[in-house]
Amino acid sequence: MKIIDIYNILDEISPFYLQEKWDNSGLLVGNKNDEIEKIYVSIDLDEEFLHVVDENSLIITHHPLIFSPLKKVNFDNYCTKLLKILIQKNIALISMHTNIDKTHLNMYVAKEILNLDVIEKNDVNEFIIYANVNKNFDEFLKDITSKLDIKSTNVVKCNQEVKKVGIVTGAGMSLLDEVQADCYLTGDIKYHEAMDAKSRGISLIDIRHYESEKYFNALLVGLLEKNLKKNKLKAIISASKNPFKFCIQGETVE
C-alpha cells in the first residue's frame, strides 16, 4: 500500500486543513508514492521505539516531530537525532495533531474514557468539549484521576460543586479566556495560569499531557481498522514512553 493511500484515508477521517496555523501535521518524512509494509501508531517518537520499528514502515504520531523550520541538521538534539534514524531506515512519518484534537480526540476522551455527560452542541470553540457534571468537587476529582490512572496531580478548587466542566486534552490553558464552565480539565497547567483561573472562579484539574492524550493510539487504530483490513495491513500500537516520572514523598511513581 502506498503512503498516499494512507494519507488520503487519514485526511478523510480528520482533514489536515483543520489544523491550527502554528501546527505541522501531515506527511513530515517520506515520499507519498513509497510502498510501506507496516504501520505503527504512537503518540510520540523516541529512540527506543525507533530502534524496534522495521524498515520501510510508516509511523503515524499525534505530536509532530518537526514544529519549527530547521536551520541545521547536526543530529545533536531530539528532532534531528530521530530524523537521522527515520531516513536511514526509510521510515515515513505522518502526524495528526490539532486536526484530530478538534474532530475526534477531545470528544473520545470525554465520552469513552471519562464517561462524561457531554453537551453535544458547542459553537464557542472547536477544541473545548463541555459536559454536565453536578457532583461534589472532591468526588469528581477522584473519579477523573481514577479513570485516567493519575496518582497525583495539581488542582485549583474554587467551588465545592462542579456543575459544568470543559475539557481539552494535552495543553489547553491558552484557551482559558473561552472556557464557559465552572471547572476546566487540561494538562501542563502553569503557576500563573492557575492564579488566573482562580481569579475567574474556574476550578482546574491538571489531567496532564501524556495521560490525557495517550488514547490517540487506540482511537486512530479503531478508525483505521476497516480500511486497513481491505489491504491486508494492520496498525501496530507502539506508544512512546512518558518522559516524566512523578515523585510522591521522595519516591518516584510511574
Q: Which amino acid is at 103?
A: T
pLDDT of residue 235: 84
Q: Which of 175, 167, 218 is nearest to 20 (CA)?
A: 175
pLDDT of residue 244: 79
pLDDT of residue 145: 97
Q: What is the mean pLDDT of residues 237-253?
A: 73
- 55-106 pLDDT, tens digit per residue, is 999 999 999 999 988 888 888 899 999 999 999 999 999 999 999 999 999 9
pLDDT tier at 216, thresholds 50, 70, 90: very high
Stronger pLDDT, 238 or 204, i.e. the higher one? 204
Q: What is the CATH number of domain 100-207?
A: 3.40.1390.30
- 170-212 pLDDT, tens digit per residue, is 999 999 999 999 999 999 999 999 999 999 999 999 999 999 9
pLDDT of residue 184: 98
Is 80 exceeded by the pLDDT of residue 240?
no
Domain with CATH 3.40.1390.30 in the chain: 3-96+213-240, 100-207
pLDDT of residue 239: 66
- 111-143 pLDDT, tens digit per residue, is 999 999 999 766 668 999 999 999 999 999 999
- Cα atoms in the Cβ-side hemisphere of radius 13 Å centred on 43: 19
pLDDT of residue 125: 83
Q: Which amino acid is at 212?
A: S
Cell of residue 107, nine digits = 470528544
For β-strands 92-95 and 246-248, DSSP reports them as unpaired
pLDDT of residue 123: 64
DSSP string, 21-44: TT---EEEES-TT-B-SEEEEESS
Helix (H, G, I), strand (E, B) or coil at 253: strand
Cell of residue 45, nine digits = 517518537
Fold of 3-96+213-240: 3.40.1390
pLDDT tier at 236, thresholds 50, 70, 90: confident
pLDDT of residue 121: 64
By residue count, the chain amounts to 254
pLDDT of residue 87: 96
Is 70 exceeded by the pLDDT of residue 251?
no
